[in-house]
Amino acid sequence: MATQLLGRGDVERARRLIESQGLAFEPGFDDLVGAFEGDALVAVGARQAAVLKMIAVAPSEQGGPLLGAIVTELAHLAGAAGHEALFVFTRPSSAGSFEALGFELLASSGRAALLESGHGLARWLEAHRGLLRAGDHGAVVANCNPFTLGHRGLVEEAARRVDTLYLLVVREDHSAFPFEARLRLVREGTADLANVQVLDTSRYAVSALTFPAYFLARGDDAAEVQMELDLTLFGRRIAPFFGIRRRFFGTEPYCATTRRYNEAMARLLPGLGVEPVELQRRTADGAAISASQVRARLRDGRLDGIEALVPASTAAFLRSGEAAAVRERLRREEGRH
Amino acid sequence: MGIARKAQAGTLQSSDVMVFVEPAEALVVEIESTVKRQFEHLIRAQIERVLRAQGVTAGRIRVTDRGALDYAIAARLETALRRAGG
């Protein structure tokens, strides 16, 4: 019933249908599918990797089978592309329609809802049940791109204050250092800290890079809504499972995005039952250590004395052949976070 | 018959069911249904009947049901298994 929309005319009609529902048409998708009634396009939806978005049904057809048809087609295409779990970002008022199709609500923050199919979060949590401990625990969530002495200082100090520190490394692989390398350097760089548990966030950190803004109201700030959703998911689903009561983060002197995220944590986490704790970032030669400095040094081949900024394990990686591909990527896309 | 690769069949339309199968060490059946509370045991029994008939002893079977009748469940699952066959 639903078919792929490929021609320019069909894409333009999809845009009009999406916009008629108060949504924004966002370029950037792997598939766009639609359903026709006669010549009229009456339902449409798009997929970008594992994220379904811009799903719109004409008012005359709402409540009928078209939403299921669109989601079915997108699920088939996603399955063929190797994505099993699917995610939907939408308005909270639309969450029920997706729940009726078997999606599970992961987080709803007032302005946005995140749903998934396939019980991935429940399975991810269950897979970590063996790490659960009694006591008072904390968390650090970080990209560690790559793991520096700044991260090490934050983790050490946080670990001193709690029984177990869960260090969640964000999987989303848009960082210069591939996820597997980031995770390995974090593990090596914290191996001597007995009460630190290093985890992979899997898909359960809402990244600005996959967050679609198509459903937001005019005047809503996409970054703000994305942070709210991410913190709601963390505070309502992840923290309670592990018994995490505090979330630690470093002061941010350089990056405006990270600073905003810190502000959002300070504002929102208390309402979610998690205490935000900002710790002073470690310095080298009077300047705060940051992963972006390390990336700049790698890019420019200035690794002399890099031990002032990173632990020995990260330094060894930076000097190894494996770092060559990272250096190439950094040279190609300068300035990426 | 074994499950050699990921496969799916069916739709999310009303009165239909969407079935995902993938290789796994053990046999796991996960059911999501709009009528789960009333009919989960019947859906599960039907799935187990088909799995037995097809000789499937391992794999993850995930079913999103929207009120499908027995024969639709069987047909969708058989199709998914055939697509996943080694």
* Closest by Cα among B60, B59, B65 to B41: B65
Task: Report chain B's mean pLDDT, rounded to a whole number.
Answer: 93
As a whole number of angstroms, the distance between CA A132 and CA A147 comes to 25
Q: Inter-chain contact B64–A84, Cβ cutoff 8 Å?
A: no
Domain spans, chain B: 7-81
As a whole number of angstroms, the distance between CA B76 and CA A72 comes to 14
Residue B55, min C-alpha distance to chain A (Å)? 24
pLDDT value of position A208: 80
Residue B5, min C-alpha distance to chain A (Å)? 11
- pLDDT tens string B25-58: 999 999 988 888 899 999 999 999 999 999 999 9
As a whole number of angstroms, the distance between CA A228 and CA B27 comes to 38
Global pTM value: 0.87
Q: Enumerate the residues of chain A whose CB falls inside 8 A of the CB of residue B22.
A: 84
As a whole number of angstroms, the distance between CA A37 and CA A42 comes to 6
Q: Enumerate the residues of chain B whose CB falls inside 8 A of the CB of residue A123.
A: none
Tokens 């794999």: give the residue: B59
* Closest by Cα among A120, A158, A138, A108 to A242: A138
Q: Inter-chain contact A68–B22, Cβ cutoff 8 Å?
A: no
Residue of B3, B5, B11, B28 for testing the chain A interface, max A β-carbons within 10 Å: B11
Asked if B54 and B23 count as a contact pair (C-beta separation under 8 A), the reply is no
Ordered structural domains, chain A, with CATH: 2-117 (3.40.630.30), 134-332 (3.40.50.620)
Q: How confident is the model at residue B86 (pLDDT cuts 50, 70, 90)?
A: low
For residue B19, the tally of other CB atoms under 10 A from its CB is 26
pLDDT value of position A284: 84
As a whole number of angstroms, the distance between CA B21 and CA B60 comes to 6
pLDDT value of position A83: 86
pLDDT value of position A84: 76
Residue A106, min C-alpha distance to chain B (Å)? 16
Q: Inter-chain contact B13–A71, Cβ cutoff 8 Å?
A: no
Residue of B18, B36, B62, B66 for testing the chain A interface, max A β-carbons within 10 Å: B18
The partner residue sitting opposite A68, judged by closest CB among B12, B20, B62, is B12
As given in the structure block, the two tokens for residue A100 are: 């009726």
As a whole number of angstroms, the distance between CA A186 and CA A168 comes to 10
pLDDT above 80: residue B1: no
pLDDT value of position A66: 94
Chain A residues with CB-CB distance to B under 8 A? 65, 68-69, 71-72, 75-76, 79, 82, 84, 100-102, 117-119
The DSSP letter of residue A39 is T
pLDDT above 90: residue B18: yes
pLDDT value of position A119: 82
As a whole number of angstroms, the distance between CA B23 and CA A25 comes to 38
pLDDT value of position B34: 82
pLDDT above 80: residue B17: yes
Residue B7, min C-alpha distance to chain A (Å)? 8
* Closest by Cα among A178, A195, A215 to A24: A215
Q: Enumerate the residues of chain B whose CB falls inside 8 A of the CB of residue A82.
A: 6
Residue A102, min C-alpha distance to chain B (Å)? 6
* Closest by Cα among B17, B21, B50 to B34: B17
Coil, helix or strand for A11?
Answer: helix
Query: Topology of domain B7-81, per CATH?
Result: Ribosomal Protein S5; domain 2 (3.30.230)
Asked if A251 and A279 count as a contact pair (C-beta separation under 8 A), the reply is yes
As given in the structure block, the two tokens for residue A297 are: 């040094």
User: Which positions ≥6 away from B15 have C-beta within 8 Å?
Assistant: B66, B67, B68, B69, B72
Asked if A9 and A15 count as a contact pair (C-beta separation under 8 A), the reply is no
Per-position pLDDT tens, chain A of length 337 = 789 999 899 999 999 999 999 999 998 899 999 999 998 999 999 999 999 999 999 999 998 899 999 999 999 999 889 887 899 999 999 999 999 998 999 999 989 999 999 888 998 999 999 999 999 999 999 999 999 999 999 999 999 999 999 999 998 877 889 999 999 999 999 999 999 999 999 889 988 878 899 999 888 899 999 999 999 999 999 999 999 999 999 998 888 888 999 999 999 999 999 999 999 988 888 888 999 999 999 999 999 999 999 999 999 999 999 999 999 999 987 654 4
Q: Inter-chain contact B11–A68, Cβ cutoff 8 Å?
A: yes
Q: What string of DSSP letters covers A128-155?
A: TGGG--SS-EEEEEE--TT--HHHHHHH
Residue of B nearest to A66 (CA): B13
Cα distances (Å, whole numbers) of residue A108 to A75, A96, A231, A287, B23:
22, 12, 10, 39, 33
As a whole number of angstroms, the distance between CA A117 and CA A74 comes to 12
